[in-house]
A = this chain, B = another copy of it.
C-alpha cells in the first residue's frame, strides 16, 4: 500500500532529513538520492543520508515509485525536466517547496503525464546543506498537501500515509490558500528579519560590534531567521509574489499606525496591541508548535 522506493532530488537540509527520517521510520522503504552539486553528493554518501547516491537524477528516479523534489522552488522545473525521460510511468512526484501554486504549475508543465502532488512540510532550521539534516525534523510538524482536484485519491492517501509515517501531521489545502497562509506564517517573517538585520548593519551611527554585543535585547532572534539559505528564500519571494505583497501591504498599514501612536504618545493604543499578542504565543505552545521555556530554552538558562 505505501511507497517502497523513494528518490530524493536535492540532498540539503530537507532532502537529507527526509532520507534519514525514512530510514528511521519506514521499514522496507529504500532511498536513492541525487544532488546537482558533486560535493553535496559526496558528502551525502559519506553521511549515509540515502541508501544510494546516484551520479545523475535519471539514475536516481529510474526505479522509484515516489520522487521528492527538495530543491529551491525556482529550480523545480529544471530538476524535473532533467529526469523526465527516465521517470517510471506509475511514479508519483512530489516536493517540499515553500510556495505551492508556482511549483504545481511548473511541475505539471515539466511532467505532463505523471501524477503530481505538491507538498510542503512546515519544518526547517536556519541551517542548510547535507550536514544540517536530522531524522526528527518533521516530527509533530504539519505537512500541507495541495493536490489538484483531479489528483488520484489513492496517491493522495499514500502520500498522506507516507508523511504521517515520518511523524508529521497532514493537511490538504488549496494551493492558493496555502500560499497566503505561508506568506503570513513564514515568508513575511523571513522578509522582515532579513530587512532589520540589513538595516542594523547599514547604520552609520551604530557600529556592527555594538549590534552584536547588545543583540540579546531581541535582535538575535531575528538573526537566526536571517541566516537561512539565500537561494531558497530568493526563490520563495519571486514565486509567491502576490500573496507576499498582499500581506506586506497589511503589515505596512499596521506598522504605520503604531508609528503614529508612538509619535503622538498614544500609550493606550500600544498597550492594547501588546496585550493582545500574548494569547497567540500561548496557543502555539499549547498546540505543541514551540518550546514553552523562556528564550526557547536556550542553553544559558
Chain A residues proximal to chain B, CB less than 8 Å = 74, 98, 122-127, 132, 134, 136, 139-142, 144, 171, 177, 180-182, 184-203, 205-206, 208, 210-228, 230-231, 233-235, 237-238, 241, 244-245, 247-248, 250-252, 254-255, 258-259, 262-263, 265, 267, 270-271, 273-278, 280-284, 287, 289-291, 293-301
B184 touches A219 (CB 8 A): yes
**What residues on B are CB-neighbors of A215 within 8 Å?**
185, 284, 289-290
Q: How far is the CB of A16 from chain B (nearest CB, A)?
A: 13
B263 touches A259 (CB 8 A): no
B196 touches A180 (CB 8 A): no
Q: How far is the CB of A281 from chain B (nearest CB, A)?
A: 4
Contact of A122 among B197, B199, B214, B284 (CB under 8 A): B214
> 27 A-B Cβ contacts within 8 A?
A122-B214, A123-B216, A126-B295, A142-B216, A171-B213, A177-B205, A181-B214, A184-B203, A185-B211, A187-B217, A189-B219, A194-B277, A195-B273, A198-B276, A212-B289, A215-B284, A220-B284, A220-B290, A221-B221, A223-B280, A224-B296, A233-B270, A234-B270, A237-B270, A238-B270, A296-B297, A297-B298
Q: How far is the CB of A14 from chain B (nearest CB, A)?
A: 13
**What residues on B are CB-neighbors of A181 within 8 Å?**
206, 210-211, 214
Contacts A197-B280, A203-B184 known; A238 to B218 CB distance under 8 Å?
no
**What residues on B are CB-neighbors of A214 within 8 Å?**
122, 142, 144, 181-182, 185-186
- Best-buried of A139, A196, A259, A270 by chain B (most CB within 10 Å): A196
**What residues on B are CB-neighbors of A217 within 8 Å?**
98, 122, 124, 182, 185-187, 189
Nearest first, the 9 A-B pairs at minimum CB distance are A186-B217, A125-B294, A230-B274, A189-B218, A227-B281, A226-B277, A197-B277, A185-B219, A223-B281
Q: What number of copies of this chain does the assembly contain? A: 2
B280 touches A216 (CB 8 A): no
Cα-based distance from A243 to B292 in the complex (angstroms)? 32
B198 touches A277 (CB 8 A): yes
Cα-based distance from A276 to B242 in the complex (angstroms)? 25
B201 touches A280 (CB 8 A): yes
Contact of A140 among B233, B235, B247, B300 (CB under 8 A): B300
Contact of A265 among B192, B196, B241, B277 (CB under 8 A): B241
